[in-house]
Structure 1
């Protein structure tokens, strides 16, 4: 049974919460909603009146071209708030969809705005999280535009493992990752055939195992070198001391 407010896990990535902070967070009403793979919760053109924290599952942010081709621009794991920008931007410019069965905790924008006005230190922590999202987007642009196929997949796998470990969702180099080869194609800009061949190459090198909703990295150092991965852009850190 969940006892902590869903927003607490999001804020604790950024700062150390005091007992008073925790009480303040509990002022924000929320409700839970389940989504199946392939469902919303939000689509480009929507005018959301709520934002959410992921409790369970994997989601993506994506853009769809007129010919139906999809470019995934981010993956979102438990603890993330993929649509926090909608608190200030009226119209959503991307699709946010479930890649697996998900449980999301929704909070009304009116409640979140009031919370931020009353608690500026906690609002600053949410602002920091959107800046980190921006840093991740920049790295994804570089990954898709400049790295070769092996480097693209290696970098993506390193990022997902680093984020899962930071969220306490990985152990001994293994984490759940409900992605298909089609999803990898849409995230890296590679064809399905090229993704398949690249995965075979990574396996043959003894670097990763990927399939059936699970990722295992067998040689982190070699995979990170191949993908030119350093975690600096993720800005993972111990939460800053409460002031």
Structure 2
């Protein structure tokens, strides 16, 4: 396969809430090219969201809406059986809130990335996937949908006229079918910065990764996520950026290419 010369590096940011701090957004903004900013439904108070968007704009980092189920207590990681109209309205509400913050910060929302349980559910649940797609199209059809590489939601969104970007997770383990290992299982989250960086280089250059079943799993992505709430997030992002750059791979927002 041909070598990739550019890839996006993203992280979930703006997830602190008032006096409660989660992650080091300022540090990771110096390393990533796209910021998935919480919209208040799973995390992020208004003051935190605005500060995060301002910081991203100041660094030239692309801003995306990190939309979620309405689940502050569960950090958006609990499944919810919502109707099409209810979920669509929830997503519209969150995108609109972040668009207001972005306008105040002198930037704009470029893409939408569902969070947590919603992200995993729409990867295979067409009903909820269609609700998210409908919400994006209702607000701004030029917004890009970021989703799990190889999942049905990306092809479904493309069929509905949305631009999409495939995402891989640097710090998450995969099954051989391309799905993520549940956070409830041991080994689901990786913590070694050097291991994380090497597997992302192997994904780009070799076209896949090693699954927890020990099988080579094809994986092609345009964006790599390092979770900002991981204890080693900064080191993982730094190692990944340095290793990829050393191999001639430019880190840049995917929005420059789509």
Scaled by the length of structure 1, what TM-score is found? Answer: 0.28
Q: Per residue, is there more helix in 1 or in 2?
A: 1
Scaled by the length of structure 2, what TM-score is found? Answer: 0.26
